[in-house]
Structure 1
Amino acid sequence: MSSSPATPFNAKNDSADAQMYILENGRGMRAAISSYGGTLTSLLVPDRAGRPGEVVLGFDGIAGYQSPEFLKSNPYFGALIGRYGNRIASGRFSLAGKTYCLAANNGPNHLHGGLRGFDKVVWQAESGASAAGPMLTLSYISVDGEEGYPGNLNVKVIYTLTTNALRIAYTATTDQPTPLNLTNHAYFNLNHGHSADILGHELLLAADRYTVVDASQIPTGELRPVAGTPFDFTTPHTIGERLGAVPGGYDHNWVLNHAEAQTVAATVYEPLSGRLMEVLTDQPGLQFYTGNYLDGTLTGKGGVVYGRHAGFCLETQHFPDSPNQPTFPNTILRPGETYQTTTEYRFGVRE
């Protein structure tokens, strides 16, 4: 197991050098992570024949993440998301009697931290090793008022490559109450470069309910049972099997069945490569998104054109718009508290 020294990531951002870090576990897995956005740019995982292959969408250099085409569609490939992953209705929330106004960067709503969220900053990075495997520690201070959020927020994210998984551990503290919902926005295709879409991937979700949303993808507050609907993945279904029955495609939050325990929330199997991925989390929700807005204007690693449904996301999270939804689990971090959550993407094969 090893972590390689940082190398330049082909450009600079805000006068800070963006660097690339490589983690390898000696078993065919290799993760490439940039300090720009804390972005997972590459993840190699062996197939059933033992051949390592790419499983995430992304680019070889920082130019791809800063191109006009990427910034226009803003798919957030592999980036760390904050302060608040997903949407906040009308770009505002109230806390302790004060209303805070955020950028409306997704129609009328606030999305993924705003115009310059955690995906567009250069994180302080330090590579190292642990008993579990090579690791990369990323740190960022989000100052009071950044993107409209209150409080100085100290964030630390640790990527660790274990014998069979990529683990992402998040911690944060604040000096004022603030909403917080951190996640990673990796797009997976377990047969990247060989399958143009993810419609044949088989998905299992440990969730009996999902959050119903309105036309602008803001939760109505209803947690609806998935039984008898195209949202029911409590038994395995291919992603494409009922996709046409969901207007616009899947881009919804599932309410996980576990209660704050680190358990398997999702399992994905790709039959051609034999790759199997499990998502473990202690978060209450999981956003399943099927790359509905990819339109072929982006060309990624290996010259692969990313068309509609080229990748899927399984973003571990709290529910969308929780600061405005009092019946949803709490997302307010207060002084003296420590935000802690861990997500693990565990890989194997099925013969």
Structure 2
Amino acid sequence: MIQQHTISNKHLKLVTINYGATVQKLFFKDRNNQETNVVIGFKNPDDYMNNPAYIGNSIGRYAGRIKEGFYIDESFYPLHNEHGVHLHGGQTGFSSKIWEIEDIHDGEVPYIKYSYLSKDGEEGYPGNLKVTVTYKLEENLFSIVYEAETDRSTHVNLTNHNYYNLDGKGSVIDHSLKVNTAHFLEFNSDKLPSGKVLNVADTPYNFTKESKLSDIKHFNGVDNCFPVETDQCVASLYSESSGIEMKVKTNQPAIVIYTPLNLPKGNYNQEIADFSSICFEAQGYPDAPNQVDFPSTLLKKDEKYMNRSIFEFDIRS
């Protein structure tokens, strides 16, 4: 049964559902003190059962793409794939599961915690994997923490798939973006990484200086993976219209930034237009199990996985 939950403090209000441990709404007040929902979602929780764009979902066991499968200790584990590419955990990844409610806490620092047990062999992955996600509000900070433990070596790469729009409607084409990294991953025609890490200079992926998306010549969207090169703010987004600024920090080695031209037709909780939103998916590198030079995503028995990301909201003066 799909259930909806709400937590709030004096700065933020968060609405989640247990299907896919999904963020449905996140409210912050704009410069005119108007409550603004800064994430795109569906009006009705049941609508998330048909969600090909993974809107608001928790993604796992592996966010992003893997080529066919992987080896662990000379054993090959084939994964569910389409045309040789395994995407976002497979045919029915964590985004399509009912998560259990572990804890809900109100007060000045409210949080909600969900859990899911992924059994050995699910979608081809080895090991029983216990996963939790904790959504917490602390002053003007929204944090997402994924944790996981396994009874057998397996690959784990979790992320949240929120679609942000700091105006609460329309397009992000007039939002300004800055990404504090000088590199991006080269992809092949299957959107799998070639293994090369390239410099952003003289490419469409250079956001080292804050740029309004509408000012970028021939802007055609962003869909790439950027290595994280700072433990401070890795990316920031600003809307001159609402005055809202969002800064992103993470302990992960990479962040996928994605601005879809169109979203699938749906009963959304806000009006949307072309380039309606932008995703900041903090995670490991795609296809890391098959790329020896990428940071490892292997989780062993008695180890603990933790993905911590913080989204800081302010009004820019």
**How does the TM-score come out when normalised to structure 2?**
0.95
- After TM superposition, the structure 1 = structure 2 runs for residues 1-351 of structure 1, keeping only pairs within 5 Å, are 17-27=1-11, 29-67=12-50, 70=51, 74-89=52-67, 91-105=68-82, 107-129=83-105, 133-193=109-169, 196-242=170-216, 244=218, 249-258=221-230, 261=231, 263-294=232-263, 297-302=265-270, 304=271, 306-351=272-317
| CA-CA distance at 1:98 after TM superposition | 1.2
Distance 1:108 1:239, change over 3 A: farther
Q: Partner letter of residue 36 of structure 1?
A: Y
Q: How many residues align?
A: 317
Q: Structure 1 residue 240: deviation in Å?
A: 3.6
String of CA shifts for 1:114-134, please: whole Å, max 9, x gaps. Answer: 111111111111343388610
Find the residue that maps to 1:144 and give its secondary structure.
coil
Cα distance in 2, alignment partners of residues 109 and 99 from structure 1: 15
- CA shift digits 1:200-233 (9 cap, x unpaired): 1101111110001011110111100111222111
C-alpha deviation, 1:341, in angstroms: 2.0
Give, in whole Å, the separation in 2 of the partners of 1:59 and 1:130.
25
C-alpha distance after superposition, 1:172-220 (max 9, x if no partner): 1101111111100000011122xx2111110111111000101111011
Percentage identity across aligned positions? 33
Q: What is the CA–CA distance in structure 2 between the aligned matches of 1:54 and 1:60, rounded to whole Å? A: 12
Structure 1 residue runs of 4 or more that deviate by more than 4 Å after TM superposition:
none
TM-aligned CA deviation for residue 293 of structure 1: 4.7
Could you say if the C-alpha distance between residues 141 and 277 of structure 1 is closer, same or farther in structure 2, counting changes exceeding 3 Å? same
Report the residue type matching 1:242 in the other structure.
I
* Equivalent position amino acid for 1:22 in 2: T
Three-state SS of the structure 1 residue aligned to 2:14 is: strand
TM-score normalised by length of structure 1: 0.86
- Structure 2: distance between partners of 1:162 and 1:104: 39
Q: Deviation of residue 243 (structure 1)?
A: 6.9
- Whether the aligned pair in 2 keeps the contact of 1:230 and 1:243 (CA below 8 Å) is no
CA distance in 2, matches of 1:99, 1:197: 44
- 1:7 corresponds to: none
Structure 2 unaligned blocks of 5 or more: none
- CA-atom RMSD in angstroms: 1.6
